[in-house]
Each structure stands twice: as structure tokens, then as C-alpha cells.
């Protein structure tokens, strides 16, 4: 233990020993106590009370009332609780999913608690209108309706406070800006139905949020010693404060166009002011939330807005459903399904209904749970935490719990004027090290069939760029296997079918920049075109340079291996499209551009039901903007997150579509043209690129920088040291780190001070 750590531990022990506590237990309520920060608060309270029992003559006791939205949430948290707390104390299960006791000192009770709009009461109020109200009148009536609503926080705490002494602490770990942004669909639909614009609808949501704040104010004044809010700036590390006013870069937006993120920031700012005005202690998290769980072979949850879009498409399909209605029903209907991707012509498809058939279970080999953000891949996390920075739940819980237990400490004030704007610290290292601490996670990043992005809320552009790198890893490992495939004996290949991922991990190496850049964009496009057309074992064999049709002897093990390879390639492609990222490639026989799609197209936030739906969308869009069809299409492909595997470069310097779009979209066939376009952009302005020429250019410029790294300079080489160099001098292709650098190069990294040590704007 370092001197600093020892001093901090000694200080904590003294605080615990000297804590003036009568013979009554510490009583706390933790709203959102099964989540990232709330769950960490529960575990830290348990830890400190158990620790105190070792240093006090009179043991401390704590009574914790934690809330979760469902039994499923509570069970998942209890699993974590057992893993974390069993080594410290014996756990008694007094009532499954409801009541637990630790070492006779900690009494932990769970309750359901869910914040929801009172839809039935609202419908009754709306039904009282004898004629359609004007938007202003409706807004006033809705505001009055919410002003009279009781606060669910107050109702919950009042019942507990009546049972005994006042509460020591009430912790709100529920992210209210997210509640307002993502779960108030009913108010959005009411606003749309009655003509409320976005600003008016958000003002109505403000009134709803104020019911919570009023209740918390009463709790703070009469029922609890401390009310601590675990709040968020809502955009965390996406703030840039590098001159002038604060700016938000939407490269990691929670929707492809960033509108939801703007709403989330609005509610976060509004709530910050409300909280501080009412005298609450507000812990403002200025960074992404770290890793609160690692899960293996896990179903990926479907986002409500995506499920609603699919349900609407299903209802509109009538007698020709794209998939069975049962796919959206029950618990199974709350998860993303795997559907075989359908191949369409990009620009001139026949207008026929699409049928994907029944879906099947889509499971991730490894998934990182990160607070309210949901489930990430390893590459997602690597990019997110390096770009947005990170504060781990445990350090946030430490601040909250110490404030609840000890108040203002003699040598450390956590809250100044009621707030603590908590930025990332050295503890971010813990989150980043998790990602490389276990071979299963490393394989989830570098494996041949590793899915590089499945964050349902993540930016469509970010997902597409990671999927692109994942397909590069797959292709390069296949090319390496091709060099030894013919010489591999039949028995080895037969055995490989039963240990598929192990076989690829052991027989092919992690690809390098040099491997990919040696291919070039033209040949890369041809190889990807062939990969996207794999259907049979013959097609799979051709990917390995092995033509089954020319072989006189058919070896059963080899045949089985190639059949499995064809299946796994198709599953990899279908996983990408099922997660909402369409794939564009050039068909090698006809030379036409084709599109692989699943039922949901994330870049446009539409559930697709007809082969010509995207073309119709782009044509309508182009007509409305007064721009050529190709401009609207190319902007959407580049800006919003299609996976473009064609041998060209697309560029966009327009964040949103407008009449000037024609001058903001670039199309080029070689690196020189792309470089000329980039040179003409204003420094630090918005831009993004896609296509294999752009990928090759981007990676080549990055490789030129990292291959010039001098280890002798130590930390002066800053971010270049993240790339691993093999003994032969080549550099490993790491999708998460490459995506990190792309976002910094495109001006999307967090800059609040010395993050300028990361690379700046532009690919050079």
C-alpha cells in the first residue's frame, strides 16, 4: 500500500471509530439501488459498516432500502452483491429478491420503484376537452395537471420515515435526464397529436420532473439528514471547453442525428439548477460511468424506440409480416433478434415486401455493462472511455457514502456550495485495465468473429466504423488461414468445428496495420464483395483460395469446416445488420452496388418493410431539400452510419441536412482527391468520411505517426504508446483504439484541459 493510500485508509478508520452514533442503525434509501452508481452506493455502505465493526467497540448497523424497476434487475444486482460481499460476511437470505442480512450488521431490503407518466389520468384529462385545444391551452392544462401530482419519491420515503427515526440519507441514483429523454414517449405522442412543438413538449416534461423535485425538497427539510443526487451533465465527456463557450460534440450521440442528446442536456441543465436551488447535495458526473458488470453469453436488450418502430412496421404489414409477431412478445421480445440479412440493389430495387422470417436469439460472447448506457462491446468501451473519459461507479459511491455517514469531513469537503463537479481521476485506470485483464475480453476485441459494436444507444456512425474494422480483422485472419489451409489435415479441420473460436485464435495472429495497408482499397473492396456473397461451402473455400469444385477427393472434415465457415460468415454479417447497421458493397460479377439490411436501419431510425423504402426516403428527402438524389443518399450514408465497403471515399462537412448540402458532400475515387477536400475544410469544423479509400487513407496516416514512435521518449509519445508493436516491428490493428483516434481526429474527443495531448483535428 502506498503512503497516500495508507494515509487515506487511516483517515477513514479514524472517522469510522469516532463516528458519534447512538444505538440506532444508520438508515438510508437508495433510489436506483440496483444500477451502476446506486448499486455501488449500496455495496460501499455495506463495506464501510463491516469495516467499522473491526475498529469500533460498539458495532455499527445499517438499514438500507434499495429500489429496482423489476425482479430481473434486483436478481442481477444480488448476483453482483454475492460476488462482492460474500468474502466479507455471511449473507442470510430472509426473503428472496426482497430481504438480506450481512454479518448481523447490514439489513438490506429491496422494493420495486418505477417512474412512469400517469397515462390513464392524462387520457382522462385529455378526454375532458369538448374540442381540440390550442397548443398554448394544452400546455397550460398539462402544466397544471403535473403541479397537482404527488411525488413518488416523497410517498416512498414518508412511509419509511413513519416507521422510526428520521433517515440519515436519501440517495437518488436514477438518472432523471435519461428518464425525461427516453421514457416519456406518451408525452411525446401527446405533443405530436396536439401540435406542441419540441420546446413546448420539453416544457411539459419540466413540469413532470418538478413533481420529483418538490417531493425531494420536503424529504430534505423534514425526513432526512442528507439528500444526495447522483446527477450527470448528460453528455459527460462530450463537452469541449477549449476556448469560448462550452460545446457538445455529437460523435458519440445517443441517436444518429443527436436530437435526443440535445434534449438530454436540456433536462440535465434544468435539473441542476432546480437541485441546487432546493439545497440538495448534487454530485455532477462529468464523465462516462465505468464498468459495473461484465457478462458472458448475454442477450442484448432492444431499445424501446426500436421495438416501437418494429411493432409499427409489423402492424402496417397486414397479411405479409416481415417477421412473426411473437418476436416482439414476452421477455424474448425485449431482446434483439438475429435475422438473416437481405440483399437489395442500392439504387434501383424492385418495390416488393421484405420478409426476414422468424428471428433467433442474438447473444454476445462478452458484454460490458456501463451504467445507464447499457451493454457495450470491448471495442465500444475502449473508444468510449478514451474519448469521453470515465469516472467509475465505486469512486462516485465513495463520495456519496462518506458524505452521508460523516457529513463535511475535517480535511476534505466533497461538496462546495452544494455541488461536486466530479471529473475523471486516476481511478479511470481501473476501468481501462478491466478490458485487457481477461483473455475472454481480449478475444472479444481481437477475435476473428468478434462483434465490435452492439451498443443499442450508441452513435450509428460510431457503430459502423467499428463494424468496418471488425470485418477487416475477420478478412485478414481468413487471408492468413488461407496460406496454410490446403496443408492442414482433415482430422484437424474436423476437430476445429467443435472448437471454432479457439481454432482461429490459435492458428491466426492478431492482424496488423501493415497487413491491411498492403492490400489497398481496390482489392479490399473485391475481397469484401466476395465475403458479402458467401452462401455455400464453395464460396467459403474460395475465401481461403481453395476451390472445392476443382478437387477430385472430397474430405469430410474439410467439407464440414467450410460449411461451418460459410455459416459463421453469414452470421457475422447478419449480426451487424440485425443490430441496425446496413452494409453496402460492390457485387463482383455485375459491378452494381448492393445493400445488406436487417429489419431496422439505425442511421435513418426506420423499420424497413419494402425493398425500395430507403430509395423512396432519399428521393423524398432530396426533393424537399432541393438537392440531387445522389447528394441526399451520399450524405446519409456518410454522415449517419452506413457501413460502406466500396472502393471510394465519401465525405460530409454538414452535421444536419439542408439546402446547401450539395456543397458539403464529397465523392472521390483516390486518396489525393480526399486529401484535397480535407485541406479545404476550416480548422476544427465538423466532418466525417467513409468508404474504403477513406479507411485506407485514415489508417495510413495513423500508421505513419505510430511507426515513428520512439519508446526512448517515454510518455512524450502520449497516445502512440497505446498501440502494441510486435517483435518484427509491425503494429497490431486494435479496433477500439483506432476508433478513439478517428473521433479525436474528427474533433469529437473531450477537451477540457490537457486532453490536448491526444491528437488534434484532421487525419494528419
CA–CA separation, 454 and 377 (whole Å): 6
Residues 101 and 91: beta-carbon distance below 8 Å: yes
pLDDT value of residue 225: 86
**Residue position matching grid coordinates 429478491:** 97
Q: What is the pLDDT of residues 321-348, one digit of tens each?
A: 999 999 998 877 889 999 999 999 999 8
Residue 183 has pLDDT above 90, yes or no: no
Residues contacting 148, CB < 8 A, separation 6+: none
Residues 366 and 400: beta-carbon distance below 8 Å: no
φ, ψ (nearest 5 deg) of residue 542: -65, -30
More confident residue, 426 or 321: 321
| Range with lowest mean pLDDT among 156-165, 431-440, 562-571 | 156-165
What band does 8 get if pLDDT is binned at 50, 70 and 90?
Answer: low
Q: What is the pLDDT of residues 627-683, one digit of tens each?
A: 999 999 999 999 988 999 999 999 999 988 888 999 999 999 999 999 999 999 998
pTM above 0.85, yes or no: yes
Give every strand in the sheet of 593-597, ordered side by side: 342-345, 593-597, 583-586, 643-644
pLDDT, mean of residues 525-534: 97
pLDDT, mean of residues 731-758: 85
CA–CA separation, 517 and 431 (whole Å): 31
What band does 510 get if pLDDT is binned at 50, 70 and 90?
Answer: very high
Q: Which long-range contacts (CB under 8 A, 24 or more apart) does 53-61 make?
A: 53/103, 53/105, 55/13, 55/16, 55/17, 56/16, 56/17, 56/19, 58/21, 58/23, 59/105, 60/16, 60/19, 60/21, 60/25, 60/26, 60/105, 61/25, 61/26, 61/105, 61/106, 61/107
Amino acid at each position: 500500500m502506498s503512503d497516500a493510500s495508507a494515509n487515506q485508509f487511516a483517515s477513514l478508520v479514524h472517522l469510522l471509530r469516532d463516528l458519534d452514533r447512538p444505538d440506532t442503525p444508520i438508515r438510508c434509501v437508495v433510489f436506483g439501488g440496483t444500477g451502476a452508481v446506486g448499486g455501488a452506493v449500496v455495496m460501499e455502505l455495506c463495506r464501510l459498516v463491516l469495516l467499522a465493526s473491526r475498529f469500533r467497540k460498539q458495532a455499527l448497523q445499517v438499514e438500507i432500502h434499495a429500489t429496482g424497476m423489476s425482479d430481473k434487475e434486483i436478481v442481477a444486482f444480488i448476483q453482483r452483491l454475492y460476488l462482492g460481499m460474500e468474502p466479507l460476511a455471511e449473507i442470510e437470505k430472509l426473503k428472496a429478491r426482497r430481504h438480506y442480512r450481512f454479518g448481523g450488521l447490514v439489513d438490506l431490503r429491496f422494493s420495486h420503484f418505477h417512474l412512469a407518466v400517469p397515462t390513464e389520468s392524462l387520457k382522462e384529462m385529455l378526454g375532458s376537452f369538448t374540442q381540440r385545444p390550442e397548443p398554448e391551452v394544452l400546455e397550460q392544462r398539462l402544466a397544471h395537471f403535473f403541479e397537482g401530482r404527488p411525488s413518488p419519491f416523497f410517498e416512498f420515503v414518508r412511509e419509511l420515515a413513519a416507521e422510526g427515526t428520521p433517515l440519515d440519507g436519501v440517495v437518488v441514483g436514477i438518472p432523471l435526464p435519461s428518464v425525461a429523454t427516453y421514457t416519456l414517449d406518451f408525452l411525446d405522442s401527446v405533443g405530436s397529436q396536439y401540435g406542441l412543438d419540441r420546446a413546448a413538449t420539453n416544457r411539459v416534461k419540466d413540469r413532470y420532473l418538478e413533481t420529483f423535485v418538490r417531493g425531494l425538497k420536503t424529504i430534505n427539510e423534514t425526513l432526512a439528514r442528507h439528500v444526495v443526487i447522483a446527477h450527470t451533465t448528460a453528455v459527460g465527456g462530450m463537452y469541449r471547453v477549449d476556448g469560448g463557450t462550452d460545446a457538445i460534440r455529437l460523435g458519440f450521440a445517443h441517436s444518429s442525428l443527436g436530437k435526443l442528446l440535445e434534449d438530454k442536456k436540456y433536462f440535465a441543465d434544468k435539473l441542476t439548477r432546480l437541485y441546487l436551488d432546493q439545497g440538495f447535495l448534487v454530485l455532477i458526473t462529468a464523465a462516462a460511468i465505468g464498468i459495473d458488470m461484465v457478462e458472458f453469453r448475454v442477450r442484448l436488450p432492444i431499445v424501446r424506440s426500436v421495438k416501437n418502430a418494429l411493432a409499427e412496421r409489423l402492424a402496417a404489414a397486414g397479411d405479409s409480416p416481415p417477421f412473426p409477431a411473437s418476436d416482439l412478445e414476452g421477455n424474448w421480445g425485449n431482446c434483439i433478434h438475429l435475422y438473416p440479412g437481405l440483399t437489395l440493389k442500392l439504387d434501383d430495387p424492385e418495390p416488393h415486401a421484405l420478409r426476414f422470417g422468424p428471428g433467433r436469439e442474438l447473444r454476445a460472447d462478452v458484454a460490458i455493462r456501463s451504467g445507464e448506457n447499457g451493454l457495450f462491446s470491448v471495442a465500444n468501451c475502449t473508444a468510449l472511455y478514451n474519448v469521453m473519459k470515465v469516472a467509475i461507479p465505486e469512486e462516485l459511491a465513495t463520495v456519496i457514502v462518506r458524505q452521508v455517514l460523516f457529513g463535511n469531513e475535517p480535511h476534505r469537503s466533497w461538496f462546495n456550495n452544494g455541488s461536486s463537479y466530479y471529473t475523471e481521476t486516476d481511478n479511470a485506470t481501473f476501468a481501462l485495465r478491466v478490458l485487457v485483464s481477461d483473455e475472454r475480453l481480449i478475444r472479444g476485441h481481437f477475435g476473428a468473429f468478434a462483434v465490435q459494436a452492439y451498443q443499442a444507444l450508441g452513435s450509428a456512425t460510431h457503430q459502423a466504423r467499428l463494424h468496418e474494422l471488425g470485418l477487416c480483422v475477420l478478412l485478414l485472419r481468413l487471408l492468413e488461414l488461407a496460406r496454410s489451409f490446403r496443408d492442414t489435415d482433415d482430422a484437424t479441420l474436423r476437430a476445429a468445428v467443435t472448437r471454432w473460436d479457439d481454432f482461429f485464435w490459435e492458428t491466426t495472429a492478431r492482424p496488423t496495420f501493415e497487413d491491411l495497408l498492403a492490400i489497398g482499397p481496390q482489392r479490399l473492396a473485391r475481397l469484401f464483395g466476395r465475403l458479402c456473397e458467401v452462401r455455400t461451402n464453395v464460396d467459403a473455400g474460395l475465401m481461403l483460395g481453395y476451390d472445392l469444385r476443382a478437387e477430385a477427393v472430397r474430405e469430410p472434415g474439410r467439407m464440414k469446416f467450410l460449411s461451418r465457415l460459410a455459416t459463421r460468415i453469414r452470421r457475422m454479417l447478419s449480426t451487424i445488420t440485425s443490430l441496425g447497421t446496413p452494409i453496402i458493397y460492390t457485387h463482383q460479377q455485375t459491378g452494381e452496388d448492393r445493400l445488406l439490411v436487417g429489419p431496422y436501419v439505425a442511421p435513418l431510425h426506420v423499420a424497413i418493410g419494402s425493398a425500395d423504402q430507403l430509395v423512396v426516403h432519399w428521393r423524398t428527402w432530396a426533393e424537399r431539400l432541393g438537392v440531387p438524389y445522389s447528394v441526399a443518399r451520399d450524405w446519409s450514408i456518410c454522415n449517419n452510419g452506413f457501413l460502406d465497403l466500396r472502393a471510394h471515399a465519401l465525405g460530409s462537412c454538414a452535421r444536419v441536412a439542408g439546402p446547401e448540402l450539395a456543397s458539403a458532400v464529397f465523392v472521390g475515387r483516390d486518396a489525393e482527391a480526399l486529401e484535397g477536400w480535407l485541406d479545404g475544410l476550416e480548422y476544427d469544423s465538423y466532418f466525417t468520411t467513409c468508404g474504403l479509400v477513406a479507411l485506407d487513407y485514415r489508417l495510413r496516416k495513423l500508421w505513419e505517426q505510430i511507426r515513428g514512435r520512439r519508446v526512448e521518449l517515454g510518455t512524450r509519445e502520449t497516445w502512440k504508446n497505446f498501440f502494441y508493436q510486435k517483435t518484427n516491428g509491425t503494429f497490431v490493428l486494435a479496433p477500439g483504439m483506432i476508433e478513439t483516434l478517428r473521433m479525436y481526429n474528427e474533433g469529437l474527443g473531450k477537451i477540457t484541459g490537457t486532453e490536448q495531448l491526444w491528437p488534434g483535428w484532421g487525419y494528419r
